[in-house]
Structure 1
Amino acid sequence: MIVVIAEVLPQLDRFDTDSGSLEELHEICDRLSACDDARDAVPRVLKFIEQNPHADLGCPGPLVHFLEQFFRSGYEEALASSVEQRPTLLNAWMLNRLINGTEGNEKRRYRLVMERVAAHASDSEVRKLAAEFLGR
């Protein structure tokens, strides 16, 4: 059976972060991962994280596992953009994992994003977490 993201993403959009289970979120992510065009779902999954900044989405959780399978396939820049647009505890945490997994100019670029979050995020919890990641 061929699964395409256009059939799965509406399930993510309908996922109720108050009453939905992590098991249900795992199932959605498993279905997304099975899609030939799964990488195309990265922006929508990041947007879902942005739109649910205080939801318990796991730690690291199925969304992080789904996204990180695209490490070195464009995920990095999409994540950095997401954090710059709307920093949340989860995407800042993911950015820290990215910082820890890169070197050189790439690492410096992502640290600069984290520095901006630590200085300017509207959510004080996110600012504090970013500062901790930076060793402040």
Structure 2
Amino acid sequence: MNSLREFEHQLFRLDPAATDFLLRVDELVEAVPESDRNEGLIEPIFAFFEAHPLDDMGAPGTLVHLTEGFYPSYTERLLDSLRTQPSYNAILMANRILNGRLSDQERSKYMSALVETAKTPDLPRALQDLVHRFLERRRKLDAES
């Protein structure tokens, strides 16, 4: 694979509902040369998540792990995704950040983002439930510490 554009093209040809999706996405990422694994991959990955908002894609899966390798470079794009086109994977990624060591300010930022995501008009019930489960769990953990 020789370009970011080719990665995006191949990514959008994948169907997260296909039985071989996990294998195919792994192969796609493995085909990206190490020298091309950079922040340029963040945008097409989030666009793919937004195009398939209800698909977990491995929970967390190859795409989430790849993106998380660019922390904190992707966090503004993550917050934007939660505000504008919430997806299973963006919600999952915010929760995974919350599970890490954060300052009170950072924790508040991601908790607020999830609270606002839950208020998104026409948010599918499955995503509402996911956000509420993560928020409830996080509040319980925070109360215990």
Query: Which TM-score bucket, shorter chain as reference?
Result: 0.7 to 0.9
Give TM-score scaled by structure 2 length.
Answer: 0.81
2:114 paired residue number: 114
Equivalent positions of 1:1-136 (< 5 A) are: 3-19=2-18, 20-32=20-32, 34-36=34-36, 38-72=38-72, 74-101=73-100, 102-120=102-120, 122-135=123-136
Identity %: 28
Q: CA RMSD in A?
A: 2.1
Tell me how far 1:34 sits from its aligned partner.
2.3
CA distance, structure 2, for counterparts of residue 16 and residue 111 of structure 1: 31
Note the alpha carbon deviations across 1:92-132, whole angstroms, 9 max, x for none: 11111112222221221111110111233521221121122
Structure 2 SS opposite 1:134: helix
Note the alpha carbon deviations across 1:59-107, whole angstroms, 9 max, x for none: 11111111110112x1111111111111122211111111222222122
> How many aligned positions are there?
134
Whether the 8 Å CA contact 2:56–2:88 is kept in 1: the answer is no
Tell me how far 1:48 sits from its aligned partner.
0.2
2:9 corresponds to which letter in structure 1?
P
CA distance, structure 2, for counterparts of residue 35 and residue 54 of structure 1: 31
CA distance, structure 1, for counterparts of residue 56 and residue 118 of structure 2: 22
Whether the 8 Å CA contact 1:5–1:38 is kept in 2: the answer is no
Q: 5+ residue gaps in structure 2?
A: 140-145
Tell me whether 22-31 or 44-53 shows the greater mean CA deviation. Answer: 22-31
Whether the 8 Å CA contact 1:82–1:91 is kept in 2: the answer is yes
Tell me how far 1:21 sits from its aligned partner.
2.4
Give TM-score scaled by structure 1 length.
Answer: 0.85
